[in-house]
Structure 1
């Protein structure tokens, strides 16, 4: 379950996730989303429309 979420956040450029080493690193986008309580679904929508990243 945690791995699935990490992969989803990685796909949305909110974290960098290395599944081999289980390494997780927050990105600037992920930190901004966290600080402003922006849901990953919103970031996903922005990524799909090309407005983000």
Structure 2
């Protein structure tokens, strides 16, 4: 698994500030929510993953 470096994480935090609405288009995970699931960004962790509620 590849993780984002600090600069990439900071760019993600600028692009997806808390409160941004997002929709799942693709996710390579056996337990992924259905495509089209929508949510609100609650943060970006240190690995570059979007935290969505």
TM interval, shorter chain, is under 0.3
Return the TM-score normalized by structure 1. 0.28
Higher relative contact order (CA 8 A, sep 6+): 2
User: Larger % of helix: which?
Assistant: 1
